[in-house]
Homo-oligomer: A and B are copies of this chain.
């Protein structure tokens, strides 16, 4: 690989001048610039990013940190990563993937290596040691998700209030008056700190209260079999239920088939709405599930933008909350008798 020195020699200038041309950091006369560019083209010069990083103290590498094994990231997880990587590439950055534990030590270690200019943190908990570690490290970062009180910390997240409110409005307008909400549930205690679950539950309670409905919530583990069981349970204990809202991507199809197996017709007798999910997931069910689609790719892109914004000295970015959007499928219909 040709170096700047090679280019400089060939163009008969100093290596600094080459640098100024490459980075466009100082005016250079047209004639010189031309000679340098010709030399670069002839030699196939590409500047070495490692040397550049060392000298400029900016690596132009970002990290995407996500908790390994802690939470199942389905296809949506890939959406985060690929969209983030794409955006980073567009803006001249690289993205490294850091599977880290939920403890802070590992993350601090990685940060200390000095490889990255900033971190995008996924799957943030309401109280999260990793966030504290990042704050302490003074390294710029952005969250996808947010802590309990994220004021002052750059983040993007799903707007659970709006999403749940929109979902309830939709079902309510269809005439449903007894709506059950199936959420993610796990034996692990950290799950109580999982923002999406907590925020969606609160929003559901509020929405039900405002409409004078009873807020029936059921936790369900993240697999189809649990979903089937949950459906049976709801039907048995709350036979008046006419709609089920689900925020549990891996259980949704189970809830559907559980209901069908119990002899319930979907959507005639029972409406199902899967929220915070992907289109693919909904399309896989039969009938196709009505969903509120999670803006996964937008979040990845925005997270990176938020981070790069800080790095490039743009004014402190606004946090962004994006709602999921309704995409009706075949699993929702007016409440029976309407």
User: Chain A interface (Cβ within 8 Å of chain B)?
Assistant: 1, 44, 46-51, 53-54, 59, 61, 64, 66, 68, 73-75, 77-78, 81-82, 85-86, 89, 94-99, 109, 112-115, 223-225, 228, 250, 253-254, 256-257, 260-261, 280-281, 283-286, 288
A109 nearest in chain B by CB position: B46
A253 touches B75 (CB 8 A): no
Contacts of A254 in B (CB 8 A): 284, 286
Contacts of A54 in B (CB 8 A): 50-51, 54
Copies in the assembly, this chain: 2
Q: How far is the CA of A89 from the CA of B256 in the complex (A)?
A: 40
A46 touches B78 (CB 8 A): no
Q: List 20 A-B contacts (CB under 8 A).
A: A1-B114, A44-B112, A49-B114, A50-B53, A50-B59, A50-B114, A50-B115, A66-B82, A73-B82, A75-B77, A77-B78, A82-B97, A94-B96, A223-B280, A224-B283, A224-B286, A253-B286, A254-B286, A281-B284, A284-B284
B286 touches A48 (CB 8 A): no
Q: How far is the CA of A254 from the CA of B288 in the complex (A)?
A: 10
For the complex of A and B, the 8 pairs showing the least CB-CB separation, nearest first, are: A257-B286, A46-B112, A78-B78, A85-B97, A253-B284, A48-B114, A49-B113, A224-B283
Contacts of A66 in B (CB 8 A): 82
Partner of A61, one of B47, B86, B96, B281: B96
Contacts of A77 in B (CB 8 A): 75, 78
B250 touches A280 (CB 8 A): yes
